[in-house]
Structure 1
Amino acid sequence: MTTTSDTTTTSILTFLPTGIYALSIPTCATWNQTGITVAGNSNGSSGSDLASLINPVDIFVDNNYTLYIADGDNNRAVRYYTNDTIGTVVAGNSTPGDSPSELNAPKGIAVDQYGAIIVADSSNYRIQRFPLGSTVGTTLAIDSTTNILGQVRDLHINVNNEIFVTDSDYSHVIKYYPNNGVGVTFSRQLWIRLSSKSVVRPIWKFRRWK
């Protein structure tokens, strides 16, 4: 059951063949508009201690409701278990750097099926993978003359461990296959269904690089 301050509705979780979970939310569902701070300071102050964040830019929530945060200006990734008020650093530290244990302005984060943390190490122009329990990363992809990668703004991973990143410098979306640091830029058209009408419209087409 999904409960809010205004109404109670029933949601149905659909398991698609691809392994993607689709949650059908009734049109009458509402949310409490008063948010609850689950990480960082509720008064809006920033900081580098483990109870604070500076410019968090992306999050990932796993099946156990564990929260992972790309803490951008702290140059680190932090983890919060349910009801935690103090985070745990799982990658990087407060000092920007490009060593295997450092990050520089991370802007995307995800966790794969093995528990490894995947980070878009944006200002280092690379994608880092931190195995479960390790703060030393391995480079999955990095900018080069043959494999262009600019500032990554977001990162997602699917059930096949294929990584998708948005590259704002070169205005494209790249997919990386497992065990292959060479990205494939693809063209996809994004469609959106208007809730008030039974129509579907294209709203954007990604650029294909050749």
Structure 2
Amino acid sequence: MKIFCIGRNYAAHAAELGNEPPGKPMVFMKPPTAILPNNKPFYYPEYSKDIHYETELVIKIAKNGRHVQPEFARDYVGAIGLGLDLTARDLQQELKAKGHPWEIAKGFDNSAPIGAEFYAPDKFEDLNDIAFRLEKNGDEVQRGRTRNMIFNVETLICYVSQFFRLQKGDLLFTGTPEGVGPIVQGDELVGYLSLLSGEVEMFRTRVK
């Protein structure tokens, strides 16, 4: 399984970090060891003092393919979930300032908490207008809709498949909206996703 992640895919989030919106999708990857499943707690690592939450719609790839064309991109959307792209912001800023790669700030162990449930595309009215949100300690801190993505899901699938062979079960984290912020020990993060049938809780992660 591969985990593809997209950076700066919401203009408001790029702006809140002082970054220009990209002209092409910004792709980075997390290793499989980044996955934190089944509402397990996240243990704050000793190598960072400034880890941020970033809530993202997650696409589970339906089948294998390369060089996917736009008219076939929707066929690669197997199921839809919600996850967190936890980011060691202090490490990221230090590495970016030096012009170094910043995988360790994004791909460290357990940096991708993810809900156990994924839902078929037909459970949503419109793939390009899905609402999701995050609560921290009971207060809403992020709310996003996929209609506000700079690059929609189909565009991301086509773009990523130019460089990497997509395989069934791969995950695509599609970017985070504005409202990212730090976590501390004792925080509880709860993510919600809106389906045709109503809003459902997707994950619940406590920081220890």
TM range (shorter): under 0.3
Higher relative contact order (CA 8 A, sep 6+): 2
TM-score, normalised with respect to structure 1? 0.22
**Normalized per residue, which structure has more helix?**
2
TM-score, normalised with respect to structure 2? 0.23
